[in-house]
Amino acid sequence: MAVGGRRAAAGVLTRHCGSCVCPPLLHPLTSRLQTQHPQALILISGDFNHAPPSTTLPTFTQYVTCLTRDSKILDLCYANTMEAYRSSPLPPLGRSDHKLVHLLPVYKPPVERQPAVSLTVRRWSDEAEDALKDCFHRTEWDSFCDSHGEDMDGLTNTVTDYINFCVDNPIPTRTVRCYPNNKPWITPDIKALLKEKKRAFKSGNKDELKAAQRELRRKIREGKNMYRRKMEDQLQQNNVSEVWRGLKTISGHKGSDHQLCLTWRSRGTL
């Protein structure tokens, strides 16, 4: 299921599972889920009467802080994110001797915690590249050397400014907004298909919804394959910095706000 645009996996443990056998079984299960879905929200709830899994789940946070049975806290809820909920007790349900626990969410997704970043990117095309090549071909490069002589710093600055001037003229630009929850393989085509899927859902046309979903899955596969090939090419070219940036993005490691936008700009897809 999805919670606030995020995938979520929830597990409820019964009284039988709350034995000493259950915690060792949680570790491989949660590890597999976190490997397959590093950005997913994982919730584990149960009556851990004898074996609280705090040592089994060191990266999870336990959110039930109110008494759930007499003077004890037996019903626990773990999540793989910090500062997500606060708990408050409610009356027991029916004849149960356990109080109900009301978890109020305080977690804000990254798209709400971090503002969108606006960047100006260039839209490269075959026509723009031909125009730039023609500009460089008609340039009298010897005039730069003659005017500066042995002054290498002045020559470097002048040539750099001229190249930037040539790039600014034929290459069109556009301003894009990058959100912190965007993935590097999400392209404008995929965003358009997401809007089309929402439109089909609101219209109630099941055939259009299925067609949009199939096309969306195909485009996402293409985007991921393109990103994978880019990572492989960078690895073969010993581009360690870009490979490390891509690995941090895939693993969900927190980076700078401009990371995804810089990745998109280097792909030249905008």
Spatial contact of 193 and 215, defined as CB atoms under 8 Å apart: yes
Across the range 31-49, mean pLDDT stands at 81
Query: Where does residue 239 rank: exposed (0-12), middle (13-18), buried (19+ CB within 10 A)?
Result: middle
Across the range 116-130, mean pLDDT stands at 82
Tell me, what's the pLDDT at 221? 92
If DSSP codes are grouped into helix, strand and coil, which group holds residue 93?
coil
| Of 25-29, 123-127, 163-167, 253-257, minimum mean pLDDT range | 253-257
Tell me, what's the pLDDT at 270? 43
What is the C-alpha separation between 137 and 100, in angstroms, rounded?
76
Share of the chain above pLDDT 70, in %: 80
For the cut 50, the answer to whether the pLDDT of residue 3 exceeds it is no
Share of the chain above pLDDT 90, in %: 6
Residue 218 is encoded by which pair of tokens? 């195909």
pLDDT tens digits, one per residue of 201-252: 888 888 998 999 999 999 999 988 988 888 888 888 887 787 777 777 666 5
Query: What's the mean per-residue pLDDT of the chain?
Result: 78
Tell me, what's the pLDDT at 214? 92
pLDDT tens digits, one per residue of 145-175: 777 777 788 888 888 888 888 888 778 888 8
Q: How confident is the model at residue 266 (pLDDT cuts 50, 70, 90)?
A: very low
What is the C-alpha separation between 162 and 159, in angstroms, rounded?
5
Backbone angles phi, psi at 75, to 5 degrees: -90, 115
Tell me, what's the pLDDT at 254? 55
What is the C-alpha separation between 165 and 74, in angstroms, rounded?
68
pLDDT tens digits, one per residue of 57-108: 788 888 888 988 888 888 888 888 888 888 988 888 888 888 888 888 886 7
What is the C-alpha separation between 149 and 44, in angstroms, rounded?
72
Sign of CA dihedral 215, 218, 222, 228: positive
If DSSP codes are grouped into helix, strand and coil, which group holds residue 241?
helix
For the cut 50, the answer to whether the pLDDT of residue 2 exceeds it is no
CA distances 80 to 36, 86, 109, Å, are 14, 15, 13
Q: β-strand 41-47 against 75-79: which pairing, if any?
A: antiparallel
